[in-house]
Chain A
Amino acid sequence: MSILVNKDTRVVVQGLTGKEGMFHAEQMIAYGTNVVAGVTPGKGGQSALGVPVFNTVAEAVDKTGANVSLVFVPAAFAADSACEAADAGVDLVVVISEHIPVMDMIRAKAFLNARGVKMVGPNCPGIITPGECKIGIQPGYIHKPGTVGLVSRSGTLTYEVVHQITSAGLGQSTCIGIGGDPIIGLNFVQLLELFRDDPGTEAVCLIGEIGGDAEEQAAAVVAAGYPKPVFGFVAGLTAPPGKRMGHAGAIISGSKGRAQDKLAAMEAAGITVVRALGEFGATVAQALK
């Protein structure tokens, strides 16, 4: 079992014919993902990687029944692409693009909300249900089908944790990179709720970082009573205030967004906090024995 995506998910890739789009779509197809369409305005009627290319997402959805879109277009056009996918009626839009202006994201998010369409990202590695489908840029082979759900604000940090969990003999139900930007789609709280209702998920890992209050919000959900064990890590204990640490959303503003406060909130909520990253996989494996 899994959340959001599975073996029946039909993916349309916006920006399929670009260099990045082609590279990663090929990996996704090799992993077994149903990539049913691509969209590149002006290249409708062509095909790439054996997949038909359309001018608009609406046409792609109409002709192929795509229900999830993956956005692989340059940042300046990404918000527009996400809105286009939402308007075409997909259930979920996954946005990989980095450096999308905040004002664009505010408008796009309102557009998606009005249509009831969910988003993962932007500035994220994507979503994967191991053994079923991979929608994004993750290295597929580090994952293994299993019962640990994982949500993370970061890319390679997610791979590190997934790899540890897999090496410790466990697998994952679904792993979602929610992105490192200030305005994102699905957040820790919403994903905790989806994992709660997924019978295939036994435990949830939250990989946070400095900035914002997503970890505190997640802690509040767990504190109110959560039926599955939750494990937490927060990057940036040693990050200086006022500096953006790579991700647009990773910044300590004044006394807000500090790692130690997030860890304290998690601990108080009953989340098993792992401070030494190297011990994450072993800690989860030990607890789920």
Chain B
Amino acid sequence: MNVHEYQAKELMAQFGVPVPRGGLAQTPEEAVDVARELSSDVFVVKAQIHAGGRGKGGGVKVCRNLDEVKAAAADILGMHLVTHQTGPEGKLVHKVWVEEGTDIARELYVAVVLDRGAERMAVMASPSGGMDIEKVAEETPELIFFSRMEPGQPLWDFQCRQLLFGSSLDAGQVRQGTKMLQALVTMAMAKDATLVEINPLAVTGEGNLIALDGKINFDDSALRRNPDISELKDPTETDPLELEATELGLNYIRLDGNVGTMVNGAGLAMATMDVVNMAGARAANFLDVGGGANEEMIGKGFEIILNDPNVQAILINIFGGILRCDVLAGGVVAAAKKIDLKVPLVVRLEGTNVAEGRKILEESGLAFEVAASMSEAAAKVASVLGGQA
């Protein structure tokens, strides 16, 4: 789960990381109120969406007075902000964060990350802050400093010293930075964050460190034990169909094609999307109804898929394992009858009791296209779509 910059900064501040003073606004008037309260010479108005690269897209503005704050907030609120992470349609901005300006001498990068390969958390730093860190890693790998933590052990001071002296900080700043990195690690452990990133981390004119941005990814599997984090979820950041699917207990991701897919199991669901595309059509979604799909889940799956107006055909691909195909076929038939299906449906069943399952589909009186294999299923989908695909 992702959170907004302002939420990340508030959480970091709770753990002792210095961040600029600021406040949230949903209207230009509120932005002015926040700025007045801050009583600073310079303000920064920042769009709050779940995407990086907001500055380049016009979502971050530096202001010298309250009128400029009002104008900046009016520009940014309600805009469809396009960045390299949003896709061409951009993201609608509902909130801005207004903070005091910072006198920036230098910009660094620090992060706490999950190192999948090493199976542990690691800490990173770079003197090249304020840039896309993947680009820094590619072009100047010598400017990325990296230190792995031992599972169950603290982030030792020496590890911080290596990273921070490497990033050309002086001894006093290294002491500040050590406290900051250790606070970030404590926060990551306490709240099950698998990525904590400050980019940029500013060195001020006075030589102090302060977090100018904040990004945190939380482990979805640990949200149950972090109810305070669950509450930070912003439903406007998620596709409404995806939200609805989550409520129904389905694993659904909306895509831009016209073939709705419904599959049991995540890997098979991805492979089914791929096969559909290979046959010349495009999948409208990823939908995993669970390894043990049943009539109820299939019914819910239909509901979600058909809420997408782009769907012109549906492909159901079920591998009946311990759940038998005849039971699954019964589920498909019952669910399809209930919803009065108006688009062509291709069903591919395989696995336990497959003959009985296919017979149930064929004798249902419904206009199913039944396919025997993955390749045949995809070809049938492409053919029912005719030239439209």
Knowing A101-B225, A210-B270, say if A154 contacts B350 (CB, 8 Å). no
Contacts of B253 in A (CB 8 A): 240, 243, 245
Determine if B116 and A182 form an interchain contact, defined as CB atoms under 8 angstroms apart: yes
User: In the complex, how many residue pairs between chain A and chain B have their CB atoms under 8 Å apart?
Assistant: 171
Compute how far the CA of A139 lies from the CA of B224 in the bound complex, rounded to whole angstroms.
Answer: 31
| Any A CB within 8 A of the CB of B74 | no
Q: Interface code A218-237, partner B: CB below 8 Å = 1, 0 otherwise?
A: 00000000000000010111
| Any B CB within 8 A of the CB of A159 | yes
- Min CB gap A275→B, angstroms: 7
| Any B CB within 8 A of the CB of A95 | no
- Min CB gap A158→B, angstroms: 8
| Any A CB within 8 A of the CB of B75 | no
Determine if B268 and A160 form an interchain contact, defined as CB atoms under 8 angstroms apart: yes
Contacts of A159 in B (CB 8 A): 319, 321, 351
Compute how far the CA of A22 lies from the CA of B258 in the bound complex, rounded to whole angstroms.
Answer: 42
Who on chain B is nearest to A209 by CB?
Answer: B267
Determine if B151 and A155 form an interchain contact, defined as CB atoms under 8 angstroms apart: no
| Any A CB within 8 A of the CB of B277 | yes
Q: Interface code A198-226, partner B: CB below 8 Å = 1, 0 otherwise?
A: 00000000010110110001000000000
Q: Interface code A228-266, partner B: CB below 8 Å = 1, 0 otherwise?
A: 000001011111101111111110001100010000000
B278 touches which one: A138, A142, A209, A275 (CB < 8 A)?
A: A275
Contacts of A152 in B (CB 8 A): 267
Compute how far the CA of A61 lies from the CA of B116 in the bound complex, rounded to whole angstroms.
Answer: 32
Compute how far the CA of A234 lies from the CA of B322 in the bound complex, rounded to whole angstroms.
Answer: 24
Contacts of B116 in A (CB 8 A): 182-183, 212-213, 249
Compute how far the CA of A206 lies from the CA of B270 in the bound complex, rounded to whole angstroms.
Answer: 16
Q: Interface code B287-327, partner A: CB below 8 Å = 1, 0 otherwise?
A: 01001000000000000000000000000000111100000
Of the 9-residue stretches A9-17, A84-92, A106-114, A168-176, which lies at the interface with chain B?
Answer: A106-114
| Any A CB within 8 A of the CB of B370 | no
Q: Is the interface of B mostly helix, strand, loop or mixed?
A: mixed
- Min CB gap B115→A, angstroms: 10
Compute how far the CA of A248 lies from the CA of B116 in the bound complex, rounded to whole angstroms.
Answer: 12
Most A C-beta atoms less than 10 A away, residue of B224, B274, B278: B274
| Any A CB within 8 A of the CB of B227 | no
Contact size range, B: 35 or more
| Any B CB within 8 A of the CB of A196 | no
A245 touches which one: B151, B194, B222, B270 (CB < 8 A)?
A: B270
- Min CB gap B246→A, angstroms: 12
Compute how far the CA of A212 lies from the CA of B117 in the bound complex, rounded to whole angstroms.
Answer: 8
Determine if B151 and A109 form an interchain contact, defined as CB atoms under 8 angstroms apart: yes
Determine if B134 and A27 form an interchain contact, defined as CB atoms under 8 angstroms apart: no
| Any B CB within 8 A of the CB of A279 | yes
Determine if B119 and A183 form an interchain contact, defined as CB atoms under 8 angstroms apart: yes
| Any B CB within 8 A of the CB of A277 | yes
| Any B CB within 8 A of the CB of A49 | no
Knowing A106-B121, A155-B291, A246-B266, say if A277 contacts B321 (CB, 8 Å). no
- Min CB gap B257→A, angstroms: 9
Compute how far the CA of A180 lies from the CA of B116 in the bound complex, rounded to whole angstroms.
Answer: 12
Knowing A103-B192, A250-B266, say if A235 contacts B274 (CB, 8 Å). yes
- Min CB gap A71→B, angstroms: 15
Knowing A139-B321, A163-B350, A254-B134, say if A102 contacts B222 (CB, 8 Å). yes
| Any B CB within 8 A of the CB of A165 | no
Contact size range, A: 35 or more
Contacts of A104 in B (CB 8 A): 222
| Any B CB within 8 A of the CB of A287 | no
Compute how far the CA of A147 lies from the CA of B219 in the bound complex, rounded to whole angstroms.
Answer: 39
Compute how far the CA of A80 lies from the CA of B186 in the bound complex, rounded to whole angstroms.
Answer: 22
Determine if A107 and B151 form an interchain contact, defined as CB atoms under 8 angstroms apart: yes
Most B C-beta atoms less than 10 A away, residue of A109, A142, A157, A237: A157
Who on chain A is nearest to B374 by CB?
Answer: A278
Contacts of B274 in A (CB 8 A): 235-238, 259, 277
Who on chain A is nearest to B220 by CB?
Answer: A248
Determine if A76 and B117 form an interchain contact, defined as CB atoms under 8 angstroms apart: no
- Min CB gap A136→B, angstroms: 11
Who on chain B is nearest to A259 by CB?
Answer: B274
Most B C-beta atoms less than 10 A away, residue of A163, A182, A255: A182
Compute how far the CA of A100 lies from the CA of B224 in the bound complex, rounded to whole angstroms.
Answer: 11
Compute how far the CA of A222 lies from the CA of B351 in the bound complex, rounded to whole angstroms.
Answer: 32
| Any B CB within 8 A of the CB of A144 | no
Compute how far the CA of A254 lies from the CA of B53 in the bound complex, rounded to whole angstroms.
Answer: 13
Compute how far the CA of A65 lies from the CA of B114 in the bound complex, rounded to whole angstroms.
Answer: 37
| Any A CB within 8 A of the CB of B255 | yes
- Min CB gap B219→A, angstroms: 5
| Any B CB within 8 A of the CB of A156 | yes
Knowing A154-B266, A157-B265, A163-B319, say if A102 contacts B221 (CB, 8 Å). yes
B221 touches which one: A99, A110, A250, A276 (CB < 8 A)?
A: A99
- Min CB gap A232→B, angstroms: 13
B119 touches which one: A106, A160, A213, A276 (CB < 8 A)?
A: A106
Knowing A160-B319, A275-B278, say if A245 contacts B373 (CB, 8 Å). no
Determine if B273 and A238 form an interchain contact, defined as CB atoms under 8 angstroms apart: yes
| Any A CB within 8 A of the CB of B275 | yes
- Of residues 87 through 141 on chain A, the ones whose CB sits less than 8 Å from some CB of chain B are 99-104, 106-107, 109-110, 125, 137-139, 141
| Any A CB within 8 A of the CB of B375 | yes
Compute how far the CA of A180 lies from the CA of B271 in the bound complex, rounded to whole angstroms.
Answer: 14
- Of residues 189 through 223 on chain B, the ones whose CB sits less than 8 Å from some CB of chain A are 189, 192, 194, 219-222
B319 touches which one: A156, A217, A239, A242 (CB < 8 A)?
A: A156
Determine if B286 and A245 form an interchain contact, defined as CB atoms under 8 angstroms apart: yes
- Chain A residues packing against B (C-beta within 8 Å): 24, 27, 75-76, 99-104, 106-107, 109-110, 125, 137-139, 141-142, 152-160, 163, 180, 182-183, 207, 209-210, 212-213, 217, 233, 235-240, 242-250, 254-255, 259, 275-279
Per CB-CB distance, the 8 closest pairs between chain A and chain B, nearest first, are A154-B267, A246-B266, A156-B265, A157-B267, A278-B375, A101-B222, A139-B321, A110-B151
User: 23 A–B contact pairs at CB < 8 A?
Assistant: A24-B322, A27-B322, A99-B220, A101-B225, A103-B192, A103-B219, A103-B222, A106-B151, A110-B119, A110-B151, A137-B291, A154-B267, A159-B351, A160-B319, A160-B374, A182-B116, A236-B270, A236-B273, A238-B270, A239-B286, A245-B270, A246-B288, A275-B278
